[in-house]
Structure 1
Amino acid sequence: MSSDQYSTGTDEKIDEDDTRSDLVHERLRESPIKRWIMLDGNRYTIIGLFVVIVFGVCTTIGFAGYIPVTDPGAATTLVAAIVGGTLPFITIVLAVNQMVLSQELGWPGGLEERFESLTTFRREVEELTETEVSPAAPADFLQLIVDSVIAQTEKLQMDINQINDPDRAENVSDFINAVTTEGELVSESLVDADFGTFDALSALLGHFNGGHLYAARRIRTHYADGFSSDVLETLDILIELLGHLAIARQTFKTLYMQYELAHLSKLLLIVGFPTLLGGGIFMMTYPIIIETAVALNRLVLIVSFVVTFVFLPFIVLLVYTLRIASIASRTADFGPFVPRVEFKEE
C-alpha cells in the first residue's frame, strides 16, 4: 500500500497515480475565499455582499445610460418581471416545508423504532469509548468519537515495534500519523462548536472519509500475522469507531439540513412578502416619482434600489442553496465507500 493513500485529510500531498474525487477531495484544491462563500461564511453577511454587488451593477448600468429611468414603462416592466418570478417562491417554500415535515412527522411505531435505533447507536458508542453517558450535544458527541479515534491510534503507535517488516511498519506508521493529525485538527475545531451554527458539521467536512476505514481494514486483514491479540483488538475498536463516526456525521448532517431548510423557508416568507408589496407599490407610483425626482441620478438610485430589493428572495435562495448543495457533495462518501477514488491494492 502506498503511504500517500493515507494522507487524505491532513495535507495537500496527493499521489499522482491516484484519481482523487472531486467530491471528497475538492477542499484540497479550493481557495479559502471559495470555501468561505460556499460553506463557512455567515449567510447574512454573504447575502449583504450579494445585495451590494447587485446594487452596484444596477447603478453602474444606470449611470452609463443603459437603463431608461425616465421611461416609466421600461422601469416598471423590469420590476414586474422580477416580481412575477418571485411568485413561484410560494411553491418552493411549500415544497421545502413538506420535505422537512416528512422527516418530523410519524406514528408511534415508526417514532419508537427511530428512537430505539438512536439509543442503540449511543450505547454502542458509549461502550467503545468507555463512557457512561455520551454527550447530547452533537459537537460534543462527535468530539468524543474523534478523541477516542486519536486514543486508539496512539495506542497502536506504541505497538508498532512488533512489526518486523520495515515496509509494513512504515505503512502502519503513515496511517497512524494521518489519522492522528487529522483527528487533532477536527477535535480542535469542535471545541467551541455549537449545533445550528454549522461549526459542528463544518469541522468534519472533507475529514475522516471512507479512505481511513478502508486502510484500517486492509491493515487488519493483511498484517494480522505480525500483530499480537492486543493490537488486533485495538484495530477492531478503531475500525468500529471510524464506522460510527461516519454514521454520526451523516446523522447530524440530516439534523442540520432539516434545521437549515426550515430556516430557509421561514426566511423566504419573511423576505418575499415585503418584496412583492414593495414591487407592486413601485409599479403604481413610479410615474409620480419621475415627476417629483427631477435629477436623473436620483432616479437611477431609486430604480437600482427597487430592483435590488425585489431581487432579494433570489439572493437568499442562492446563498442558502449553495451551502446545502456543498454540504451534500462533500459528505457523499458515506460509510465504507469513497466515490471515484482509486486506491492501490498492492
Structure 2
Amino acid sequence: MASSDTEETLESYGTDIGERTSSLSRAREWVLVEADRLLVAAFVSIAVFVAFLILDEVGVISFLNDDSITRLAGGMIAGTFSLVTLVVSINQLILSREFAAAGESENQLEGVMSFREDAAETAGVPAAPASPTRLLELLTASIRDRAETLEDAVDGCDEELATPVKRYTADVQARADRVDETLERATFGTFRAVSAAIGYDDAWQLYVARHLRGRYGDDLPAEGREALEELIDALELFGVAREHFKTTYLQRELTRFSQLTIYCGVPAILAAMLIGFLYADLGGPSISVDYLPLVVSALIAVVVSPLALLTSYILRTATVTRRTASVGPMLPQKPADEGPFDVTYAEESESGTPTGSD
C-alpha cells in the first residue's frame, strides 16, 4: 500500500472525549459525558418544576381544572409503572450476562489470564496489576516507551524515512503522556478513568503503525523494526483492555441506573397518587389556590425523576457507545472519501512519501 501525493496527516484523527473548541461544545460535552448523572437528572427535574410554574404564570396552563389534573395523574402513574418495568427488564438483561455454565466461565477465565500474561510481558512486569486503572497506565507507558525507541532508531536514517516516523512517534508520546496524567488522578468506577481510555486514539495509532510497517518495514534498522512490532502489539493490547473495561463500566453504570430508578420510582408513583388525592374533594383542591401551582409543580418534578434519570444515563452510554463503535484500526467517524492514506488496488509501496498536514 502507498500514499498518494496529496497531503495527509500522521497525527491522531480520532474523536477524543473531552475535546472542545467553543463554549457551546464544552457545555454539550459536560451534559453528555462529563457531569455526574445524578446532577444532570436533578437539573432536568428542576427544569420541569420551573417550566410548569412559568407556564402557569403566563396563563398557558391552569391547575384549577379537576378533571384534567386527575386524568394527568392517572397517566403519570401508568407511565411510571411502565418505565420502572422497562428498567427492571434492562437490569435482567444485564444480569443474564453474568450467568454462565462452568465451561463458559472457564473459557472466560482463560481468556482473561492469557490477556494478563500478554500485558505483563509487554509491560515487563512479573504480573499484571489487579487494578484496571493501573493496568492501563502500564500499557500506556509501554506504548510511549516503544514509540521513543522507534524514534531513536531512525535518527541516522534518510530524511524521507525519519520525518514521517518521528512525527508519528511524537504524537504517540504526547497522547500517551496526556492519558497517563489523567489515569494517575482517577480510580476505576469513575468516568474519568473510562473517558481517558476511550479518548486515547489507539485505533488511529495502530492504523498508522501498520501503514508505516508495510511501507517502510524493509528500510527500518533492526532495532526500529522490533520497536515498531512491539508498539503494534502494545496498541492491540490497549485496545482489548479498553473494550473490556468499557464494557465492565457500562454494566456497572446500567446496574446503578436500575437501582436509582427503583429508588425514585416509588416516590414518583406516590407523588402522582398524591396529585390525584389533592383534587379528590368534590369542593375542589384540598389546598389553597395560591399554593396549588407550587405544590403540583413540585409533585410533577418528583414524578418525572425516573425519566430524568433515564435521560441522563442514556445520554452518556449512547455517546460512549457511538464514539467507540468499532474495535481496532477501523475509523467509521472518518468520511469515506478521505484518506488518510489514499491507496489503490495492487499499488506498489515504493511511490511517494506521505507528508503531513497540520
TM over 0.5: yes
> Structure 2 vs 1, CA of residues 276 and 291 (structure 1 numbering), >3 Å: closer, same or farther?
closer
Instruction: Report whether the alignment pairs 1:7 with 2:8.
Output: no
Name the aligned partner's letter for residue 71 of structure 1: N
Instruction: Report whether the alignment pairs 1:136 with 2:140.
Output: no
Name the aligned partner's letter for residue 335 of structure 1: G
How many Å separate the matches in 1 of 2:160 and 2:72?
69
Instruction: Report whether the alignment pairs 1:210 with 2:203.
Output: yes
**Contact 1:59/1:301, CA 8 A, preserved across alignment:** yes
Name the aligned partner's letter for residue 212 of structure 1: Q
**Contact 2:279/2:286, CA 8 A, preserved across alignment:** no
How many Å separate the matches in 1 of 2:57 and 2:217?
74
Instruction: Report whether the alignment pairs 1:252 with 2:245.
Output: yes
How many Å separate the matches in 1 of 2:93 and 2:19?
29
Query: What residue is the counterpart of 1:344 in the other structure?
Result: 341
Structure 1 outlier segments of 4+, above 4 Å: 1-4, 23-30, 287-292
**Contact 2:45/2:305, CA 8 A, preserved across alignment:** yes
Query: What residue is the counterpart of 1:66 in the other structure?
Result: 60
How many Å separate the matches in 2 of 1:48 and 1:274?
15
1:167 aligned to 160, 174, 198, which one?
A: 160
Instruction: Report whether the alignment pairs 1:265 with 2:258.
Output: yes
Structure 1, 110-119 or 130-139: larger mean CA deviation: 130-139
Superposed, which structure 2 residues align to 1:233-312 within 5 Å? 233-288=226-281, 291-296=285-290, 298-312=291-305
Structure 2: runs of 5 or more not aligned: 344-358
The structure with more helix, counted as a fraction of residues? 1
| Shift, 1:110, TM fit | 0.5
The two structures, once aligned, show a CA RMSD in angstroms of 2.2
Name the aligned partner's letter for residue 164 of structure 2: N
Query: What residue is the counterpart of 2:352 in the other structure?
Result: none
How many Å separate the matches in 1 of 2:50 and 2:123?
54
**Contact 1:150/1:179, CA 8 A, preserved across alignment:** yes
Query: What residue is the counterpart of 1:157 in the other structure?
Result: 151
Name the aligned partner's letter for residue 179 of structure 1: V
Query: What residue is the counterpart of 1:99 in the other structure?
Result: 93
Calculate the TM-score normalised by the size of structure 2: 0.87
Alpha-carbon displacement from aligned partner over 1:147-197 (angstroms, at most 9, x marks no partner):
110111111121221321x23322111101111111111111100211111
Query: What residue is the counterpart of 1:118 in the other structure?
Result: 112
Instruction: Report whether the alignment pairs 1:329 with 2:322.
Output: yes
Name the aligned partner's letter for residue 8 of structure 1: S
Q: What number of residue pairs does the alignment pair up?
A: 332
How many Å separate the matches in 2 of 1:224 and 1:216?
10
How many Å separate the matches in 1 of 2:21 and 2:161?
30
| Shift, 1:290, TM fit | 5.2
How many Å separate the matches in 1 of 2:130 and 2:119?
12
1:316 aligned to 302, 309, 317, which one?
A: 309
**Contact 1:83/1:276, CA 8 A, preserved across alignment:** yes
| Shift, 1:323, TM fit | 0.6
How many Å separate the matches in 2 of 1:325 and 1:260?
12
How many Å separate the matches in 2 of 1:295 and 1:50?
26
| Shift, 1:333, TM fit | 3.1
Structure 1: runs of 5 or more not aligned: 10-20
> Structure 2 vs 1, CA of residues 285 and 222 (structure 1 numbering), >3 Å: closer, same or farther?
same
Superposed, which structure 2 residues align to 1:174-189 within 5 Å? 174-189=167-182
Calculate the TM-score normalised by the size of structure 1: 0.90
2:38 aligned to 22, 35, 44, which one?
A: 44
Name the aligned partner's letter for residue 124 of structure 2: E
Q: Secondary structure at the match of 2:253?
A: helix
How many Å separate the matches in 2 of 1:162 and 1:224?
16
| Shift, 1:138, TM fit | 1.1
| Percent of aligned pairs sharing the same letter | 28
Query: What residue is the counterpart of 1:146 in the other structure?
Result: 140
